[in-house]
Structure 1
């Protein structure tokens, strides 16, 4: 494995400020190559697509390249499976509009307590308006895990859609997704998978996940603020017809994209995927092949750091970690210090040069299921550019705050 975290960190201008950026789950920083790609798109000029001049053709090329890059990143069968939007939340509401048009009383949808609210509320709200029943899969409050039978046991012949996360945005827990998507397919239900916190930490292959639709956000994997919903099969999009303007394209995936695409940001998406493909200097071959090698190297690096973080938190008597993953998880820890507000802890860490998140992080069902309420906890989330020294800085600072030093 030719993964050199210091060389990688040197490509990120923001990391030079000396702070420990342990807030990747809230959004990663971007490398110089992404900054330059976005700047270059503005510098040379872009125009809306469809024009008979170079800047318009340039924009069309950027869009095509961005679709191909995301398809490579998640293992989609073709670029035409990739629909872009401003955020995962906006895109999910967009798709909920389409699917709910066919829901009726007697139909059911399944959502889970492990999910970010962006993969719960859009479906719940549309189901309620359609008169469809909502079935909520409960997590285990002792461990934070989502037992697969708690989801598959709710999926039946009346189920129209199953919305489930590939990785919790606060607990890091990765449920047995394939068992869930297989069960959904058995009954003819659509599986909509939130991969926002999964994609930054995994080598994603849609055929292995079994997801019909997979959502990802580029700003969680070193790209600009842009999101995509990717279909595992182009026919999944061909058979859906969202509301749109009369003269706007009726082709797929274009009909899912409202208004003019952000061409400069899309150029940044291409650069971000290329950057991810080159994180292991020994990776070669096609971009998809380089991604496979580099993503696995990232997993190995993050896995080592996560173990040190999790073991270190467990050794601090004054810190309570929420959730106790028994299986796969991302390098994310959600914790609290009894008697201290999460916001106060995050503020003290910030004063020590450590960037962490606090609160519920929109994992609304999760924090209530765990019994900690909307004040939530403190979240430390590692990224491919996180160093061992930063993990140790966090543990040392928590020892000070908890009074254990």
Structure 2
């Protein structure tokens, strides 16, 4: 293939299988090689900002990616060529499977495990931005809705990656491509809890899903080939998003999001404090979206464990730091991460954010303090840049009336 030429691909490990097992989602006619679509030579789509989508199906995909580097919550079935990410009590799970062609070629689930191991918490931000570009919420769909050309350099800038050399840029492109391939192969399976009713018809909305986020339709290689063009990483891809995902993430009756993705993406995440700030922000978005009134009043008080383990930081898990020779670094990273979020306008300078590292360290016992510290509830409030959106979400919720007391009314004294 010549430099700059496009190729169509739906397969992760081989270009010889153009028709992998298709689950509910993007239909084959939409991603077939013969479909009349814009070439990746066309104009790539971009967005000035993006949302933290807190919908359970997106949360399942993000957590599967964040856990990938560490293998948390993953299990495999070697004979079936399947690996699965399942969190106890969660409404959705994530499954990756080999295609028939891959199995016949002798590939095993180990090939999928290699892809999973390439994922980390930054993949969550990449998924959120790309999904925002392809199918922004609360927008009336048009003919091209749910499909588009994604430029890797654009994704780099939106998730806070800043390459300092050509070689580093290629490595980052490879990483983005691994994220995108994971999004294509990771089938999210489940149904939302509770009932969703159409406001106009009163009918129940089906929230069941069994589909990957998107399919890769075409890729574009660099115009100037490297010394080994056969292994050249794409610079742009055309993606087609699943219909089921589009319906759940964009409809005004099922969309769940907060507009704070670009704020988290702007935080440098290569050092522990920055990486911790990013995952704390992701976790807080989920808590704040589900309980905006509690977030504003201070009644919502998550534990440090809930904020640090929901999406493990890419620089290392909090458990790794706490089990190291210097476990008090976890306290330092925590305090620094909160200050980063305050500076970004995502946290209010109040409560937990006013406690310095020295003060927190001095309050800890000399031994066996890590679990107690992790499970302590923290007082955290939304910052100036995100507070108006949470206030709007809170105002839109129905008023909760006090429950009347049961029993006979007391007789009044004469």
TM band (smaller chain): under 0.3
Question: Could you say which structure has the higher helix fraction?
Answer: 1
Bigger-Rg structure (1/2): 2
Q: Which one scores higher on RCO, CA 8 angstroms, separation ≥ 6?
A: 1
| TM-score between both structures, scaled by the size of structure 1 | 0.27
- How high is the TM-score relative to the length of structure 2? 0.26
